[in-house]
Amino acid sequence: MINSTSTAARLPLREEDLDSFATLTEIIGVARGVLPTDILDFLEGGAGEERTLRDNRTAFRNWNFVPRVMTGYGKPELATSFLGIPLAIPVLTAPFGADGLFHPRGQCAVARANAAEGVASIVPEAGTYSFEVVAEAAPDAARIAQIHPMGSAEHFVGMLHRIENAGYQAICVTVDFPIAGRRERDLMNRFDRNFRAASGNYPADGSAASETIFKQLFYRSTAGWGWGQLGELMDKTPLPWIAKGVLTGADACAALEAGADAVLVSNHGGRQLDGVPAALNQLPEVVSAVAGRVPVAFDSGIRRGSDIVIALALGADVVVLGRLVAYGLAADGESGVRQVHQLLRAEMLTTLTLLGAGDVAVLEPSVLSINACRRH
């Protein structure tokens, strides 16, 4: 049953309708209908009281669009690039792990859908499938590998070399995960994260030893890492790298000093420290601090094409989609992910055209104004 107020949207979708979802709301509704409760909570939940999770969405509602009419622009241009990777729309897909819980082909299906739609994948270290398997499943896809700064230097550098050998074009380092946040929905569900669904890059023979190796890496604190150590080790790869999880101008500058080629403004979708600001509210500060020296990516809270336009207008070069893509994956696998991108493209085109705007690359904050009704 679709979660919507319209009568038509509440009707159950027929099997043949899965080839042509009309809205993102339909895709989300189908995904919610097919996922078991504990897995849906794993997807939708956040840390603590989920204040930050809610604030990520509220932040978008704090902005109004300011359209200009009769500007003479034709069809807006959505194509762009990021770290030399051409993109048909300014979108990357997030490195959400345990992807096999949402669909048997997980990130392999995501990568294939992305290749067809001109979108780049950020492939997770804690995914169901290894970096190599995802690369083989979608050899034409633009791919970025995501890793955590953890374990020994030898382990970390070994992962860098694996990523290079698998043909990835960049590396995304998640810097806001020294330890997993306390996600209370998962705790109350006694949710078993199932190491096989998240250990594609590690031994997965089912033995107790394999599970111990994985849990030692992913469930112990890695708070001892600092920017200096990370920068020194990242110098051992020729690939450009992104610092994912930056929320302040100071951390953005520290990432650049460590050699980062891009920063990703993110609060991990509200899944790490509850009570931090909405990522969108921090985006202008980071953009100002970076001052055009490197590209800025953004994630957390995006649910519509109009949300993407807001983030771009506030200075992001591209956005990164997590939950929306997981919904598409759960709703209809590779086809569901493709339809997420297609619907987002349509929504962005409509929004930009009605704004009287042109290329996404030249959007200015002047197309936005603070929603006076929500100032307080």
Helix (H) or strand (E) holding 195: helix 195-198
The DSSP output letter for 188 is: H
State the angle between helix axes of 305-313 and 323-355 in degrees (0 to 180), rounded to the nearest 10: 70
What distance in Å separates the CA atoms of residue 89 and residue 81, rounded to the nearest whole number? 9
pLDDT at 4: 33
User: Among residues 148, 155, 161, 268, which one is catalytic?
Assistant: 268
Count the neighbouring beta carbons within 10 Å of the beta carbon of residue 71. 11
| Residue 85: band (very low, low, confident or very high) from pLDDT cuts 50, 70, 90 | very high
pLDDT at 13: 54
State the angle between helix axes of 279-290 and 249-257 in degrees (0 to 180), rounded to the nearest 10: 50
155 classed as catalytic: no
With pLDDT > 90 as the criterion, what percentage of the chain qualifies? 76
Higher pLDDT, 204 or 30: 30
Count the neighbouring beta carbons within 10 Å of the beta carbon of residue 190. 7
CA distances, 75 to each of 10, 69, 72, 358 (Å) = 33, 14, 10, 7
Say if residue 366's pLDDT is above 80: yes
What distance in Å separates the CA atoms of residue 84 and residue 356, rounded to the nearest whole number? 28
**pLDDT tens column, 281-311:** 999 999 999 999 999 999 999 999 999 999 9
The residue extents of the domains of the chain are 7-370
Mean of pLDDT values over 315-341: 98
Q: Identity (one letter) of the amino acid at 143?
A: R
Count the neighbouring beta carbons within 10 Å of the beta carbon of residue 155. 10
Contact 243, 231 (CB under 8 A): no
Domain 7-370 annotated CATH 3.40.920.10:
no
**pLDDT tens column, 39-69:** 999 999 999 999 999 999 999 999 999 999 8
What distance in Å separates the CA atoms of residue 184 and residue 182, rounded to the nearest whole number? 6
Contact 199, 214 (CB under 8 A): yes
Q: Identity (one letter) of the amino acid at 227?
A: W
